[in-house]
Amino acid sequence: MTHLENSTAGAPVAPAPRPAASRRAKAQRRAMILFIAPAFLIYAAFVFVPLGMSVYYSLLRWDGIGEIATSARFYGLRNYIEVLTDDDLLQIIGNAFQLALWFTIPPVCLGLAVASAIRSQMAGRFGTATRTILFLPQVIPLVAAGIAWSWMYDSYGVVNQFLRWVGLESWTRGWLGDFTYALPAVGIIGAWVLLGLCTMLLVTGIARIDGSLYEAAKLDGARPRHEFRFVTLPGLKNEIGICITVTIIQALSSFDIVYIATAGGPGIETTVPGLEIYRLAFAHRQVGLASALAIVLMILVLACVLPIQWALRDRNK
Amino acid sequence: MADLKLRGVRKAYGAADVIKGVDLDIAHGEFVVFVGPSGCGKSTLLRLIAGLEDITSGDIEIGGKLVNDVEARDRGVAMVFQSYALYPHMSVRDNVGFGLRLARVPKAERAKAVEEAARILQMEPLLDRKPAQLSGGQRQRVAIGRAIVRDPEVFLFDEPLSNLDAALRMDMRAELARLHQQLGATMIYVTHDQVEAMTLADKIVVLKDGEVQQIGAPMELYDHPANLFVAGFIGAPKMNLLEADVTSVDGATIRLGGADLTELTVTGAAGTLPARGEAVTLGIRPHDLIPAADGPLRPRIDLIERLGHETIIAGALPSGARLTAVLEARSPVRLDEEVPLSVAPGAARLFAASGEAVPLKAD
Amino acid sequence: MTFPRLRTNALFARGLIVLLMIVTLLPFLSMLSAALAPSGSYPSGLEWPSDPAWGNFAKAWQVANMTELMTSSVLIVLGTVPAAVLFATMAGFGLAKLTTKRSAWFYLVFVIGLTLPFEAVITPLYFEVRELGLLNTRGAIILPLIGLYMPFSVFWMRAHFLSIPQDLSEASQLDGARRWQEFWMVQVPLARPAIMSLSILLFLWTWNQFLLPVVLVQEPTRRTMAGALGAFQGQWGTDIPLLCAGSLIILAPTVILFLIFQRQFVAALLQGAVKG
């Protein structure tokens, strides 16, 4: 406080007065505000206000039924402590990260394989067909993907049919009801949805790499794995970064697929934060805890995505 | 009547001064060219006049009206951009007529104005095309047409020819000159090309680092550059600038000497004469050098360009300084020879150490 | 030695792609085969039924009230997408062309929302929508969705407007355009490709939106298609042929639109990922 006072009182020269904005500058500023206002207002009303409320609720213990004034009480950071110490909630957050691995690794690896194998834009009728089919899962509701796959994973579904056909009768099971395999099974649904998008991103990316780089590498005696390591991977850094960003956001904030395919079961084996927030808030009436989990989820997504974006930006410079 | 007055116009971006106080009077119907190297502030000055940017201080008057706070659209100016800035989604007709449409000019009247502009610029067949279907020169015409229909008080041109090839640029230059005569409007033209400035302007404004170096008619600038910068900037090939010393001052007669010249006398005008022993810069246009056996300048020739109608030679003087001269077409010069050159009477220019011209008596 | 290697490489690529396509299509085919089994029966894996029960589709249409569902989804899309696109286009223009350094923070405010999971605000949204008296109406989906789409949409449109040369804006100023006229007569026509792509993305996201309808609207016939599918599964989840037939009907509209506008969809989705 004293420091502040000193600095103002002791300032030898008054700061140069900012030149008064001209009428035209003011008019432009007014125009800007008018153009931004509708977007900003509705954004503020339905994102910022709720976000602020989320933070507020997360400090309360409230059942969400009565008025806040009468039925809620201040609970401090105890909701957050519970989120970060409760075994079940920790497992649920862990589930989200396991899903992130499933959502990310198969699509990116398969996409890289396809991209480096064809190493050019997909053209012609085959290319169009490929694009169209691989993009189908992006177009349908995730809910439909969930229903389609729960039938695939059914005891009498295609997966088990296939296993029987190749003679692995003993491996058959109801996949989504199995404590060990339910989460990977859900993960594969996500991988299936994201496969086409990642593949196409990487194929488009690799077509942009200068072909002479590969020729130069060959002349330098590079084997295919060297080409992959020293030409393809560096050339696709951006696209890979984009894929990972998309898949991680999808995995951490997944809701639709899990809700439809397993409803979080068996037990809480496939429960993810999104689903748990919904349950806590609307079934268990623990609005405070749900909100704390929501805030933690938001921070986790940022914590995963920001470093990737940061790394991409630095490379672009 | 649209004359233009700039009084102490300054522009600063944060702490960086881009225009450092410009005073300028432009009479109605004048063709004024702002010229200078890139970054000298000439485009900024034009944009300040257009009203695309705010001046930091000073006053701008157009037609006797203070326009500091007037929006660009209400200043009665039209501008032709370097990139032409045609609206890609509109036909040529709509591009040219856009301003009138905004001004709610009735359709029939609008069509007539557009046709008229198209006739002046000989681009009637292009009216229904889109900008993407036009060549660079045609786009240029459309951009000018768009300015014409608005019948502005002042036309502004921002390096309008720099995206055209050399031949087309000559044609458009001639066309702009014709247009200026035909319309009799005030035009301000920005370029970094001194040839455009010399050929088009009634009045040239030479700018450097946001400051006016000299204002004057083309020949005035060519004959009497106010300082070293203008001397070096106007004229091609460039004026030779040589270090010299004042060996004696006798009345108005100044005797010069130095490493590069044996002796040269010039006659100063009354008043400001350099002192004896002062270091000065001697400026001589390449066209003003004449072969003469007793010439004070003796470059050793290492470059000969025979252009047909004239021959350009260049070489090094004893100090290593370069000298360029333009000689008659069939001058018998040879490489590695020393060619003695004298200065045409009254052609030498003198600059003090500060860079300012020393006034000399015209012969 | 190079030639055979190249050939095997290309063959391997093609084989891999075909395999991926089969994996992508398999769930659809398995749904179709199940949908054609007799209603109420328990189908088995992937097999073409001897007597395909096409009637399942008619029945699913009827029991799920598909006509009403489609109408509801269309209404929600019509309420959401045009408004969101308009607001985003205006804000994108304002942020790209009218801001000075001092107001750059406006843009940051929008960008902050880019990675926000909808779940993070769904609880307070419920109470907010209840306060507004919109619970159980389509407005409960439309208004929050417009708001939630703003970060991406504004980001998208701003990126587009930044690519439009400043000269055009200045030329229109000198031609006498007010900002509003410049926006409608110069900028919006030039932004058409960006607006198209954004509309496609927002249409898909709205049509397929699940979380908001599930939380905010109880009545399935006022939900989006995806939301209604959730309710449909809850009700008919045990009748697999019927469930599969219903799911296929529900995913049909977007798939058909996708097949027609394949090129635009793919471009929009790819750019959407890159920019998001």
Contacts of A35 in chain C (CB under 8 A): 90-91, 93-94, 98, 179, 183
Subunits touching C (CB < 8 Å, at least 3 pairs)? A, B
**Cis status, amide bond into B131, omega within 30 of 0:** no
Tell me which residue has tokens 């309420």.
Answer: C79
Start-to-end Cα distance in chain B? 40
Q: Nearest-CA residue of chain B relative to C174?
A: B73
Question: How close does chain B come to C169, measured CA to CA in Å?
Answer: 9
pLDDT digit string (tens) for C210-265? 999 988 888 878 888 888 888 888 777 778 888 888 889 888 888 998 988 888 88
Res B19: pLDDT:
92
pLDDT digit string (tens) for B331-345? 888 899 999 999 998
Interface contacts (A, C; CB < 8 Å): 295
Q: Nearest-CA residue of chain C relative to B155?
A: C174
Interface contacts (A, B; CB < 8 Å): 13
Is the ipTM above a cut-off of 0.90? no
Alpha carbons C187 and C94: distance in angstroms, whole number: 11
Contacts of B87 in chain C (CB under 8 A): 168, 171-172, 186, 190
Contacts of C27 in chain A (CB under 8 A): 145, 148-149, 151-152, 158, 192
Is the pLDDT score of C1 beyond 50?
A: no
The closest alpha carbon to C41, from A176, C50, C229, C250, belongs to C50
| DSSP assignments along C154-166, one per residue | HHHHHHHHHTS-H
Q: Nearest-CA residue of chain C relative to A151?
A: C31
Question: How close does chain C come to B56, measured CA to CA in Å?
Answer: 16
Residue B69 to residue A22, Cβ atoms within 8 A: yes
The one-letter amino acid code at B77 reads: V
Res B358: pLDDT:
87
Res C6: pLDDT:
54
Q: Nearest-CA residue of chain C relative to B74?
A: C176
* CA atoms lying within 13 Å on the CB side of residue B275: 3
Res B95: pLDDT:
93
pLDDT digit string (tens) for B48-93? 999 888 889 999 999 889 998 888 888 889 999 999 999 999 999 9
Question: How close does chain A come to C153, measured CA to CA in Å?
Answer: 10
User: Rounded mean pLDDT of B21-48?
Assistant: 92
Is the pLDDT score of B191 beyond 90?
A: yes
Task: Give chain B's mean pLDDT.
Answer: 90
What pTM value is reported for the model?
Answer: 0.85
Token pair for A172: 């058959």
Residue C176 to residue B89, Cβ atoms within 8 A: no
Res C275: pLDDT:
62
**Substitution target from B49, B53, B54 for chain A, most A beta carbons within 10 A:** B54
Residue B69 to residue A27, Cβ atoms within 8 A: no
Token pair for C65: 């009230």
Alpha carbons A55 and C164: distance in angstroms, whole number: 40
pLDDT digit string (tens) for A24-35? 778 888 888 899
**Closest Cβ–Cβ partner in A143, A151, A246 for C276:** A246
- Can you state the angle between helices B107-120 and B92-102, rounded to 10 degrees? 130
Q: Report how far apart, in Å, the C-alpha atoms of C235 and of each of A157, A281, B74, B286, C63 are.
A: 21, 23, 67, 97, 10
> Which of residues C129 and C50 earns the better pLDDT score?
C129
B71 touches chain A (CB under 8 A): yes
Question: How close does chain A come to B22, measured CA to CA in Å?
Answer: 19
**Cis status, amide bond into B286, omega within 30 of 0:** no
Burial A93-115 (b: 16+ CB within 10 A, else e): bebbebbbebbbebbbebbbbbb
A 12-51 → B contacts, CB under 8 A: 19, 22-25, 27
**What share of chain C has pLDDT > 70, as a percent?**
96
User: Rounded mean pLDDT of C113-123?
Assistant: 89
Res A4: pLDDT:
39
Contacts of C122 in chain A (CB under 8 A): 277-278, 281, 294
Start-to-end Cα distance in chain A? 41
Alpha carbons A264 and A269: distance in angstroms, whole number: 7
Q: Nearest-CA residue of chain C relative to B53?
A: C170
Q: Is beta strand B240-250 parallel, antiparallel or unpaired with respect to B4-13?
A: unpaired
C 146-205 → B contacts, CB under 8 A: 165, 167-168, 170-178, 181, 185-186, 189-190
Res A224: pLDDT:
80
The closest alpha carbon to A115, from A130, A101, A100, belongs to A130
The DSSP symbol for A40 reads: H
Alpha carbons C79 and C76: distance in angstroms, whole number: 5
Token pair for A291: 């909100």
pLDDT in tens, chain A (317 residues): 334 334 333 334 444 444 556 677 788 888 888 999 999 999 999 999 999 999 998 888 887 777 777 777 888 888 898 888 988 999 999 999 999 999 999 999 999 988 887 776 667 788 888 888 988 998 899 988 998 998 889 888 888 888 888 888 888 888 888 888 999 999 999 999 999 889 888 988 888 888 888 888 888 888 888 888 888 888 888 889 989 999 999 999 899 999 988 888 788 888 999 999 999 888 888 888 999 999 999 999 999 988 888 887 755 44
Q: Spell out the residues 6+ positions from residue A285 whose beta carbon is closer than 8 angstroms to its own.
A: A63, A64, A65
Q: Nearest-CA residue of chain B relative to A18?
A: B14
Residue A147 to residue C43, Cβ atoms within 8 A: no
Contacts of B67 in chain A (CB under 8 A): none
Q: Nearest-CA residue of chain A relative to C116?
A: A298
Question: How close does chain A come to C200, measured CA to CA in Å?
Answer: 10
